[in-house]
Amino acid sequence: MDTDLSSQDRKDLDKFIKFFALKTVQVIVQARLGEKICTRSSSSPTGSDWFNLAIKDIPEVTHEAKKALAGQLPAVGRSMCVEISLKTSEGDSMELEIWCLEMNEKCDKEIKVSYTVYNRLSLLLKSLLAITRVTPAYRLSRKQGHEYVILYRIYFGEVQLSGLGEGFQTVRVGTVGTPVGTITLSCAYRINLAFMSTRQFERTPPIMGIIIDHFVDRPYPSSSPMHPCNYRAGEDNGAVYPSVEDSQEVCTTSFSTSPPSQCVFTVTKAHFQTPPPVVTDTLKVPVMGLAFSHQPAALGVGSADMGYPVLFAGGLHAAHPHQLIGPGKEGGVPPIPSQPAHGTQADQERMCTPLDGVHYSAATPSSSEDTETVSNSSEGKCGSPHDLLETIFVRKVGAFVNKPINQVTMANLDIPFAMFAPKNVELEDNDPMVNPPDSPETESPLQGSLHSEGSSGSSTGNTHDDFVMIDFKPAFSKDDILPMDLGTFYREFQNPPQLSSLSIDIGAQSMAEDLDSLPEKLAVHEKNVKEFDAFVETLQ
């Protein structure tokens, strides 16, 4: 009931709440800029410092906040939320925190608006200053730069906590009772930041998001674009945004969860979907030792979320001295134009006006996922083409491998340090193509060769897989002319022998010897040039 509140008090209260909301946003965003904030105390009141605190006003942030509020005030069911998220240079993003300014119905009629409420709001802002340095996102934001940047988004309405992952924690900054309700300020923050890298191993798809549509709908009440927690102080747009790596290398991860002998590259790109705004977890967090770069190549397309370019990532810290803001001083920050975000590539250059009427949906790259699973068990890069291919290489170990009867162990050979010598000598013995099975038609050697323990035909170690041999009967493959049928032929020649030049044989020529013999070989070939030319002619 507002009848007890005088109209002057009511007006004052509304004004206090409005400016409190704006200052709250300023404090939160400034705390995520990645720099140390410093403002001066002033003994003489200037009249322009709300709540007697020197909190600078960044114009873009104020503008965004006002836009989100759209003339309303936080009320029951209508909260003002500031979402802080992290975006890597490849375009992956993840929500880190949601700060909520809420109002509930519990009223305190006795409280004096102009005095007690005001002072308590001031105290709450001080608490907010303290708490913003204490959540995990603060340390992340201080380290932002080349590899990732921190973005903010303001929305008004219902609080959406789903993007924070499981097990998020909440901290309450404080409450202030007013005659019209109780203002509550709290923060929900993700805690499993440290496990981002390992989560990639547990989850397979989807790891990366691809945006197919600029205007993906997001289940947020207001689809406001994300903004960088960064701003310039007057210089021109020399945006040093970390460029997206268009190298398209899909598997640059260096984890190896299985023995290197079994390389399974599965690169599938599924159809585009519009997934829930779930966080992808393959982020390149510099604090981790691992480097993953996820390939959002097609991500380039319309990441409509990035309404505001992420700028100045790199040298920003150096470029920005501490902001010593006296009351009333403008930071001299030019408005950052919003941009028709075309993904991360676009982020580098574009500028747009904040007054751009287009509403970009606040989709982050993660919001449209593809089921690109890259499980690369071998180290190093696998340069699989990053496009709509389905490439499955499965190299099995010797389907024809016989258990060696006369296995020559290294220990029997009379060489020094036999145990440490490469084991490839025996591999050649076991290579089925070098020693082909007895008869291509019988099935018993095939069945007997299923176990590949220790005697792997592959040169890269051993596997413990048991292959179940199914009778391979290719259709329409009977051929009366040749003694063997297609299936047998296929099986027999499934594993071609190693090239002799590639096999590492102790007795083989060394590289140096090879090189030495090259000139002679060249001389011989030169002599026969005419023959070669004639041969080539016949081919044409």
Which parts of this chain interact with another protein (CB under 8 A)? 36-46, 49, 52-54, 115, 120, 123-124, 126-127, 129-131, 133-135, 138-139, 142, 171-176, 327
- Smallest separation (angstroms) from another protein to the CB of 349: 32
Closer to another protein at the Cβ: 40 or 525? 40
Closer to another protein at the Cβ: 17 or 352? 17
Closer to another protein at the Cβ: 35 or 431? 35
Cα-to-chain-centroid distance, residue 526: 55
Measured between alpha carbons, how far is 140 from 138 in angstroms, rounded to an integer?
A: 5
Closer to another protein at the Cβ: 169 or 247? 169
Closer to another protein at the Cβ: 48 or 406? 48
- Smallest separation (angstroms) from another protein to the CB of 184: 10
- Smallest separation (angstroms) from another protein to the CB of 23: 12
Contact 152, 227 (CB under 8 A): yes
- Smallest separation (angstroms) from another protein to the CB of 52: 5
Parallel/antiparallel/unpaired status of strands 169-178 and 264-267: unpaired
Measured between alpha carbons, how far is 78 from 292 in angstroms, rounded to an integer?
A: 39
DSSP string, 314-352: TTHHHH---EEE-TT----PPPPPP----HHHHTTT---
- Smallest separation (angstroms) from another protein to the CB of 121: 11
Alpha helix positions (H), 263-407: 316-319, 343-346
Q: Distances from the Cα of 166 to the Cαs of 93, 96, 169, 196, 349, in angstroms?
A: 16, 12, 9, 12, 36
Closer to another protein at the Cβ: 229 or 239? 229
- Smallest separation (angstroms) from another protein to the CB of 132: 8
- Smallest separation (angstroms) from another protein to the CB of 161: 19
Q: Distances from the Cα of 372 to the Cαs of 198, 206, 223, in angstroms?
A: 17, 6, 27
DSSP state of 117: I
Closer to another protein at the Cβ: 36 or 106? 36
Q: Is the dihedral of CA 165, 168, 174, 177 positive or negative?
A: positive
Parallel/antiparallel/unpaired status of strands 227-228 and 148-157: antiparallel
